[in-house]
């Protein structure tokens, strides 16, 4: 067993019911954990061992689309309900309401765990294997200019610590670095990392209590359709394939529907809802 996998297993097994003491109840779940990967066609992602296992153990969406190419616009769409003028992967400072505003209006907690993130409200395009284009939250002006909100974007090393101490928020956005998300390495590498990092958590009933793990990609590989892999895994989820036509906007809408958020008045409003995947 690798050191990373062993550490994750130990931490996951340490988690007690205190990990859920601070959550507010949602309609379907009390905590959502997002993990996004890079530039892979649906069929190729589904062939990978860990991603394939998640597809069989949870809701696997067989007709799920990204919004655009290249990467950055998809992350922005998922978190703000619009491309907000983003047309590439360069630096954008976006003046837009986003999911964190809706969460805070309901006193719901959120945090971004970004691998290799330098901290201190870093707004540069890259640092080591961290890429700003994969962390949409630092591009929202009402986060980057607000030290208290910006402090909720942390290095991903804080994830295991928060999980062990019962401090994970209700909305978790985990940003793998450019190696672990497959951008620089390919989907097989990313899948191996994912299984080592999150496998023990998924298998820990206490950790997954009232929680969903949402795994998806920012965009397809070379594909006109832009179909991507997307799964939702959790104890309340029925394990089967769902063929409803969905998009990244549908996942944003799911957050709004689960916690009774007001919506952003953009593409989230007209996006198809995630179907009844619940037990």
Contact 178, 184 (CB under 8 A): yes
Angle, vertex CA 48, rays to CA 155 and CA 132, nearest 5: 30
Res. 223 pLDDT band, cuts 50 70 90: confident
**Would you name the residues annotated as active-site residues?**
184
- As a whole number of angstroms, the distance between CA 230 and CA 188 comes to 16
Residue with the larger pLDDT of the pair 72 and 15: 72
Domain count for the chain = 1
Instruction: Reduce the DSSP state of residue 198 to 3 states and report it.
Output: helix
Mean pLDDT of the chain: 94
**Domain membership flag for residue 139:** yes
Residue 219 belongs to some domain of the structure: yes
Q: What pLDDT score was predicted for residue 13?
A: 46
pLDDT band of residue 24 (cuts 50, 70, 90) is confident
Q: What is the CATH classification number for the domain harbouring 79?
A: 3.40.720.10
Residue 183 covered by a domain: yes
Higher pLDDT pick, 12 / 201: 201
Q: How confident is the model at residue 179 (pLDDT cuts 50, 70, 90)?
A: very high
- Calculate helix-pair angle for 187-202, 3-14, nearest 10 degrees: 30
Position 275 in a domain: no
Does 21 map to a domain? yes
Which of the two residues, 130 and 19, has the higher pLDDT score?
130
Beta-strand relationship, 31-37 and 110-114: unpaired
* CA–CA separation, 60 and 57 (whole Å): 9
CB contact at 8 A, 133 and 71: yes
Asked if residue 279 belongs to a domain, the reply is no
| 3-state SS, one letter per residue, for 255-273 | HHHHHCCCCCCCHHHHCCC
For 120, the domain range is 3-270
237-248 confidence digits (pLDDT tens): 999 999 999 999
194 in a structural domain:
yes
Whether residue 47 lies inside any domain: the answer is yes
Contacts with 85 (C-beta within 8 Å, 6 or more apart), sequence order:
92, 94
Taking residues 67-91, what's their average pLDDT? Answer: 98
């Amino acid at each position: 067993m690798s050191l990373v996998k062993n550490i994750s297993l130990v931490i996951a097994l340490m988690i007690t019911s205190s990990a859920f003491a601070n959550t507010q109840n949602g309609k379907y779940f009390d905590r959502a954990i997002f993990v996004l990967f890079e530039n892979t066609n649906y069929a190729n992602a589904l062939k990978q061992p860990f991603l394939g296992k998640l597809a069989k153990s949870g809701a696997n969406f067989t007709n799920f689309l990204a919004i655009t190419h290249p990467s950055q616009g998809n992350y922005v769409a998922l978190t703000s309900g619009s491309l907000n003028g983003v047309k590439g992967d360069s630096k954008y400072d976006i003046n837009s309401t986003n999911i964190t505003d809706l969460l805070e209006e309901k006193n719901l907690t959120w945090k971004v765990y970004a691998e290799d993130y330098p901290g201190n409200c870093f707004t540069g395009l890259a640092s080591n294997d961290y890429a700003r284009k994969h962390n949409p939250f630092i591009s929202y002006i009402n986060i980057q200019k607000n030290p208290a909100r910006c402090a909720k974007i942390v290095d991903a090393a804080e994830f295991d610590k928060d999980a062990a101490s019962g401090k994970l928020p209700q909305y978790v956005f985990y940003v793998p670095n450019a190696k672990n998300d497959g951008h620089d390495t390919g989907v097989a590498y990313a899948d191996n990392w994912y299984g080592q990092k999150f496998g023990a958590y998924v298998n820990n009933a206490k950790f997954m209590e009232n929680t969903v793990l949402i795994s998806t990609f920012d965009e397809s590989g070379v594909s006109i359709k832009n179909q991507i892999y997307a799964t939702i895994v959790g104890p309340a989820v029925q394990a089967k394939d769902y063929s409803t036509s969905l998009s990244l906007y549908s996942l944003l809408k799911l957050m709004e529907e689960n916690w009774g958020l007001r919506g952003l008045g953009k593409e989230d409003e007209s996006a198809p809802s995630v179907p009844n995947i619940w037990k």
